[in-house]
Structure 1
């Protein structure tokens, strides 16, 4: 028993088994085999290594974005001149990557808490029974008092009076000057896996350059200062149409870097997308168009609390950082090569199927490929207990498996 165990261990550790192969001279099968191997080779080199960069590891960035607006607007509404600066038309004003620039507005001045009728044609009534006291309506401007005002045939409400009239949106937009406002974007990214930190203020972008440049897709693609009118135009929309009722624009800062070359070549690309909808869609196809919100400025007048209410129509800008860095790594390289070598086995499987099941001489190839063993009539003196037959000129048939 000990000798048998020692012999088995010796065979396991110190012997190598290899299959016997059959060389088939058949043009059709040979061409099929080479075409499949060529296709696998093209896939590995063209797709896995060149297109998908299978020899590189990847990492996404940790990023931060800072923004700053500049520009002055002017309006003259009913003879009242107003100059608007950054503190007036940007919301919020902290330099966030998502912000709104006001382009149009409806203003209601001198509101104070009291009782007044709803707008004419809104929440109509014919008697007090139509106005339930103490109740609210979703689109109303206050709490109903239970009184129907005969002069307007609308319910009286307790709220900020006079109520806002937003039925007519100014056209053209009051702040069309926003088209010439400028936006400065400062963005930094870090790829932790590779220990690389970059900023969109790349080499050559200094204070002198920034003071003069303005972004252009071909003439100044790295300038971090953008004109709002250009941003809207590059996103595919009309500034006037977007400014009247508001909308949303996405600014994508794309960091796609190959760190196998010097990191100075890792530079951002800027893309602009309209999030408002499709530029060619008519407004009638949208259930709710535009972008707007309200805010109020409160003050005291003769010991009475008052406010100025503004319904703001504006363009919302969302700055989105998109990043992907690649660098050579031996582990994914070996993994890609190993998987590619394994795929080469497809050629063998296909050719075996053709030989054994499709060709006219398939029985001959089957006998050439396999040896058959009958355990009941096994001859202990024969090789591996197999039985062999002769065919044709008497040449011995080859076997794929022989241990």
Structure 2
């Protein structure tokens, strides 16, 4: 009972008052040393260069909640077949609410005076030679209405129940009817909020007041913060030719980039505008490709002599998509410590690689194994205890025994890579 009590007391004492540390072996070998330092240098360069400088691992990040408001201005003029017309914002912008995605009409095909009746299809839509070629009550995907089962001899096409006369969109006006749209202007008002940092910014930054807006026009070099853009400049900056894209339409993305560092004054958080063509390639020369440009149809309905009629527009236009891209950063101790901790952990790669070289690749690997690992025999240690020898004295005797057996080769040419044990004085 007393012996067990002493064992428990010793165990508790050892737990609280003893410190364990791993044994280290100093290896003096040029090849292993160079490999170790090169790996450590690479890890250090990765931590400093990539994690801290490039990825800014010492900062926390946040993306913005954004709102965009747009307004077009400008007046267009057309003279189509002797019919003069002036087009304002209410006529050429779809939808008119000032959304972040809208279309500016640049060309159109108009079909006036349509009413619900029976008329022949366009040549090429559904050709026929007799009534049997026109299945009554059926539809054709590219047709304009429901076939009546009658083949019209004058056009050699099937008769359809549709809005007549049917639209003929085979010939697209060239040059574009609204080529004057190049001079329209677009005003963009954008507000962003970074909830994590409690910061709200607008693209109408310091210095962008009513007086400045009334006379400025965006230029990447001279006026990069001006929020008013000329439509022709937007097309040019996206890489397209205005007359080409105005004929059949297209789409352009305006990217408002908010990349901010809140470790400095928030006044330095300012937007950058980039322009990208979304539909089509400005260098593309293949004229036979499918689904070129951007177009849609809309109709204006009215009554004439109590008959419902409509004017159909096929609109070719430039679709503008305003895309807000945001990323804000600010110093935070938690990601900083995380980055440092992971970097320190990666340093262990050098030890693993060097151990592999040391223990498996070098000619004297057996010698290094004996230096790195301490082997004990369970049947020998009790004898040392029975002799009343101190443990340190036992290890000294064991080392001398190994040296006598030729295990520790102090005269080995590569012995400078080994470790030197100092005898502990006997008690």
TM-score by length of 1: 0.95
- Show the counterpart of 2:56: 53
Q: Relative to 1, partners in 2 of residues 1:41 and 1:397: Cα closer, same or farther, differing over 3 Å?
A: closer
- Show the counterpart of 1:98: 101
- The match for 1:69 among 65, 68, 72 is 72
Aligned positions of 1:14-29 closer than 5 A = 14-29=17-32
- The structure with the larger Rg is 2
- Asked if 2 retains the 8 angstrom alpha-carbon contact of 1:256 and 1:266, the reply is yes
SS at match of 1:165: coil
- Show the counterpart of 2:166: 163
- Asked if 1 retains the 8 angstrom alpha-carbon contact of 2:297 and 2:315, the reply is yes
Verify: 1:203 aligned to 2:206, yes or no.
Answer: yes
- The match for 1:181 among 151, 165, 184 is 184
SS at match of 1:375: coil
2 CA distance for matches of 1:89 and 1:98? 14
- Show the counterpart of 2:230: 227
Deviations 1:72-93 (A, max 9, x none): 1000011000100000000000
Deviations 1:262-284 (A, max 9, x none): 10100000011101122111243
Aligned positions of 1:165-314 closer than 5 A = 165-284=168-287, 286-314=289-317
1 CA distance for matches of 2:317 and 2:8? 85
Cα offset, 1:357, TM superposition: 2.1
Cα offset, 1:285, TM superposition: 5.6
2 CA distance for matches of 1:365 and 1:66? 72
- Show the counterpart of 2:391: 383
> When the two structures are aligned, how many residues end up with a matched partner?
399
Verify: 1:39 aligned to 2:42, yes or no.
Answer: yes
SS at match of 2:175: coil
Range with bigger deviation, 344-353 or 185-194: 344-353
Cα offset, 1:398, TM superposition: 5.6
Verify: 1:4 aligned to 2:12, yes or no.
Answer: no
- Show the counterpart of 2:86: 83
2 CA distance for matches of 1:397 and 1:229? 78
Verify: 1:154 aligned to 2:162, yes or no.
Answer: no
Q: Relative to 1, partners in 2 of residues 1:349 and 1:120: Cα closer, same or farther, differing over 3 Å?
A: closer
- Asked if 2 retains the 8 angstrom alpha-carbon contact of 1:369 and 1:398, the reply is no
Q: Relative to 1, partners in 2 of residues 1:330 and 1:70: Cα closer, same or farther, differing over 3 Å?
A: same
- Asked if 2 retains the 8 angstrom alpha-carbon contact of 1:73 and 1:175, the reply is yes
Over aligned residue pairs, what C-alpha RMSD do you find? 1.9
Deviations 1:156-208 (A, max 9, x none): 11111111010100111111111111100000000000000000000000000
Q: Relative to 1, partners in 2 of residues 1:6 and 1:279: Cα closer, same or farther, differing over 3 Å?
A: farther
Range with bigger deviation, 385-394 or 96-105: 385-394
SS at match of 1:284: coil
- Show the counterpart of 2:118: 115
Aligned positions of 1:297-336 closer than 5 A = 297-336=300-339
Range with bigger deviation, 52-61 or 155-164: 155-164
Verify: 1:30 aligned to 2:38, yes or no.
Answer: no
2 CA distance for matches of 1:126 and 1:286? 31
- Asked if 2 retains the 8 angstrom alpha-carbon contact of 1:367 and 1:397, the reply is no
Q: Relative to 1, partners in 2 of residues 1:110 and 1:11: Cα closer, same or farther, differing over 3 Å?
A: same
- Asked if 2 retains the 8 angstrom alpha-carbon contact of 1:91 and 1:99, the reply is yes
Cα offset, 1:121, TM superposition: 3.2
Range with bigger deviation, 188-197 or 297-306: 297-306
2 CA distance for matches of 1:249 and 1:257? 25
- Asked if 2 retains the 8 angstrom alpha-carbon contact of 1:283 and 1:289, the reply is no
- Asked if 1 retains the 8 angstrom alpha-carbon contact of 2:25 and 2:419, the reply is no
Verify: 1:133 aligned to 2:141, yes or no.
Answer: no
Cα offset, 1:38, TM superposition: 1.4
SS at match of 2:102: strand
- Asked if 1 retains the 8 angstrom alpha-carbon contact of 2:26 and 2:419, the reply is no
2 CA distance for matches of 1:229 and 1:169? 21
Cα offset, 1:336, TM superposition: 0.5
SS at match of 1:357: helix
2 CA distance for matches of 1:285 and 1:58? 47
The runs of 5 or more residues in structure 1 that have no matched partner are none
Cα offset, 1:241, TM superposition: 0.9
